[in-house]
Amino acid sequence: MIVSDDQWLRAGLRGELRERGYDAVGARDIAEAVRASRPEPGRGPVGLVLVDQVSLGAGLEPAAVDGLLRATWRARLVLIAPRNRKEANGPWTDVLHRPITVGDIADYVARTLPDEHAAGPIDG
């Protein structure tokens, strides 16, 4: 799952991950991510949540993170943070620093997620 208020980042990263066989869902903010993480037919559990710090606005509400953790109980939470700003507090498994490319983020996902999260090549 990709949480970012930047539509181009979400779309570009979703496209790159699909090319590599991953099913990625995008959300504009934490609340939308919680709603999008509910189980859907034909879709496995969320394995990793990439949170763009810029989309958190003034700060990260602890209750929102708790809700996200409950909704994605086994997911790793990864913050994408600007290098020149203080990282948002949270239960981050890892922090990726900007500047970073979509390819770099997709490489991180491929190294981090177990093989069972990859859906294999997607036709069409």
Q: Is residue 20 part of a domain?
A: yes
Angstrom distance (rounded) from CA 33 to CA 29? 6
Q: Please state the domain count of the chain.
A: 1
Per-residue pLDDT at 47:
87
Q: Which domain covers residue 10, as residue numbers?
A: 2-114
Order of strands across the sheet with 94-98?
A: 26-27, 2-3, 48-52, 76-82, 94-98
Q: Which residue is it, tokens 């799952």?
A: 1
* Domain CATH number, residue 87: 3.40.50.2300
Asked whether residue 102 is domain-assigned, the answer is: yes
**Is 119 a member of any domain?**
no
Let me know if residue 123 belongs to a domain. no
Q: What is the pLDDT of residues 32-83, one digit of tens each?
A: 888 887 777 877 778 899 999 888 765 556 677 777 777 676 788 899 999 8
Q: How far apart are CA 99 and CA 58, in angstroms?
A: 21
